[in-house]
Every structure is written in structure tokens, then in C-alpha cells.
């Protein structure tokens, strides 16, 4: 009676201990039912085992799922960082490259003005009639002093050797002298003049500014105005470095008179020459 009473009111694991504690008492062992005792133990361990296995399975499944989610999240973060880093690196390299190309173009322009373009001669000097006085006079004109406040026009009949003598004098004068032969076709003026002073119309704009729609106002100007602005910039650099202005020689400038747009350009060139002489 004592056994069954304790079994009915106590938990199964306490009963097991109670039975083991009471084992030395022979009377109780004789009176106890072995089948019921084994059944009690079996029931106790049977009730415990499925619950533990279920918890273990759930924990294992949770850990696998959590680990997988963590790995996926970590991978997504790494990929996102790579993408952001790649975009930033591209924009930075593109910006540096654009600045490098633009500065390189400016440097080539400044170097050309500084050294002069040294025009070629159509004839050997030995085949020409020597005119040293005229050449020396032209060289003086091509090497102005700091405060010079005027510009020159060289005029003479066709075929008297103005072009040849001017080329010889500009070659001997060297630094700071740009000789430009005005083309017959007005449309080629800007392109040929840009080639003479080593100027590039292409302005490198970084991808960042392209996205933002950055366009300089001067990029919409006519090319001949843009190339003249480039020459002015290079002239300012030359004057600051050497203390005197550079010289530009327009040969066959009269070709502009026969074109409608050429007259506008001729007036602009004369006004520009006057402004430079005044300042």
C-alpha cells in the first residue's frame, strides 16, 4: 500500500529513488511486484526520451537555419561592400583621369607657346636672296618688351617674299612666337589654328559630372572663339613666367575679308590684338 500511495502522489523520478531506497527492506521487496517496478522505470525513461530527442532535433534545425541565414546575410553585406567600393573606385579613377587629360592638354599648349612652333621653310635659305636687315627688323618685332602697347601689320605686294622672310625671322626668334598661315577655307580656321598651338577641343569630363549634366558654357561657343580663349590662357602663363607677351603671326590674314563670317572674325582678331596691346 505504501508503494502505490507514493506512486500516485509523487513524480516518477522520486518513486524510482524511493524504490531504490527501500530496496534493503526484504519485506517490501517480497511484497512489491517486479513487473510493476520495471513498468514504472520503463515508463519513466520512455516519457523522458522522446521529449529530449525532439528538443535536440529542434535545436539542431534552428542552429542550421540560423547559421544559413547568417552566412547569407554576411555574403550579401560583402557583395554590397564590393559593389560600393567598386563604384567609388571607378568614379575616383575616372575623375583623376579626366583631370590628368585636361592638365596634360593645357601643359602641351603652354609648352608650344613657350617654345614657339618653328614653321617650316618652303625653300632652302641658300636658294634665297639674303635680306638680313629685314630679318633683324622682324626679329625685333617678334620679341616685344614688357610694356609694348601696339601691334604690327606687315604689308607688301604679292610675291615679294613676305611669307618666307617672316618664317625665317620667326624661326630665329624662337621662343614665344607662333606662326599661323590662315587657311583658304574659313571653316578650317579653328581646326588648323588649334593644330598650330597644340590645342585639343576635347574636354574630358568625368562620368560623375556627366551624370549630373555638367556642361561648361564655353563648350557651346564656336570653335574659333574657344581656340582663341585657349591661346589667351597660354599667353597669360607665358607673360607671367617671362615678363613679356608672346607673339602670334597671322599670315595671309586678308583671306578672311572675302568671307562673310571671316569679316566678323577679322574684326574680333583686331579688337583682341588692340586689347592685348592696351593691357
182 pLDDT above the threshold of 80:
yes
Per-residue confidence band for 39, with pLDDT thresholds at 50, 70 and 90: very low
- Contact assessment for residue 243 and residue 176, using Cβ atoms and an 8 Å cutoff: no
- Grid coordinates given for 130: 639674303
Mean pLDDT of 173-186: 88
pLDDT of residue 88: 76
Q: Give DSSP secondary structure letters for 199-261.
A: ---PPP--HHHHHTT---GGGGS-HHHHHHHHHHHHHHHHHHHHSS--EEEEETGGGGGGSHH
User: What is the pLDDT averaged over residues 94-108?
Assistant: 78
| pTM to 2 decimal places | 0.59
Query: How buried is 197 (Cβ within 10 angstroms: 0-12 exposed, 13-18 middle, 19+ buried)?
Result: buried
The whole-number pLDDT of residue 263 equals 81
pLDDT digits (tens, 9 = 90+) for 4-31: 344 444 444 434 444 444 344 444 444 4
| Mean pLDDT across 48-52 | 50
Q: Which of 109, 262, 248 is nearest to 183 (CA)?
A: 262
Percent over 90 (pLDDT), the chain = 7
Mean pLDDT along residues 165-183:
89
> What are residue 179's DSSP bridge partners?
249
Stretch 203-211: mean pLDDT: 56
Phi and psi at residue 175, to the nearest 5°: -60, 135
User: H or E segment at 178?
Assistant: strand 177-181
Strongest mean pLDDT among 7-16, 64-73, 259-268: 259-268
Amino acid at each position: 500500500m505504501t508503494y502505490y500511495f507514493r506512486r500516485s502522489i509523487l513524480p516518477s523520478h522520486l518513486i524510482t529513488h524511493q524504490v531504490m531506497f527501500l530496496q534493503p527492506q526484504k519485506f517490501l521487496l517480497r511484497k512489491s511486484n517486479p513487473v510493476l517496478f520495471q513498468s514504472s522505470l520503463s515508463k519513466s525513461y520512455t516519457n523522458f526520451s522522446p521529449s529530449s530527442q525532439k528538443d535536440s532535433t529542434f535545436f539542431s534545425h534552428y542552429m542550421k537555419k540560423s547559421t544559413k541565414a547568417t552566412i547569407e546575410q554576411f555574403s550579401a553585406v560583402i557583395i554590397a561592400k564590393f559593389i560600393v567600393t567598386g563604384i567609388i573606385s571607378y568614379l575616383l579613377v575616372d575623375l583623376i583621369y579626366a583631370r590628368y587629360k585636361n592638365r596634360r592638354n593645357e601643359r602641351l599648349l603652354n609648352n608650344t607657346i613657350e617654345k614657339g612652333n618653328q614653321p617650316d621653310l618652303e625653300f632652302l635659305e641658300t636658294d634665297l636672296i639674303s635680306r638680313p636687315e629685314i630679318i633683324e627688323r622682324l626679329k625685333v618685332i617678334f620679341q616685344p618688351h614688357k610694356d609694348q602697347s601696339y601691334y604690327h601689320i606687315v604689308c607688301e605686294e604679292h610675291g615679294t617674299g613676305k611669307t618666307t622672310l617672316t618664317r625665317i625671322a620667326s624661326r630665329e626668334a624662337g621662343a614665344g612666337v607662333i606662326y599661323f598661315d590662315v587657311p583658304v577655307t574659313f571653316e578650317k580656321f579653328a581646326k588648323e589654328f588649334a593644330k598650330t598651338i597644340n590645342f585639343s577641343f576635347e574636354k574630358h569630363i568625368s562620368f560623375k559630372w556627366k551624370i549630373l549634366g555638367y556642361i561648361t558654357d564655353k563648350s557651346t561657343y564656336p570653335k574659333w572663339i574657344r581656340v582663341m580663349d585657349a591661346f589667351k590662357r597660354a599667353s597669360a602663363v607665358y607673360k607671367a613666367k617671362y615678363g613679356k607677351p608672346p607673339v602670334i603671326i597671322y599670315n595671309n590674314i586678308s583671306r578672311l575679308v572675302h568671307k562673310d563670317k571671316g569679316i566678323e572674325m577679322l574684326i574680333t582678331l583686331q579688337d583682341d590684338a588692340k586689347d592685348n596691346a592696351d593691357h
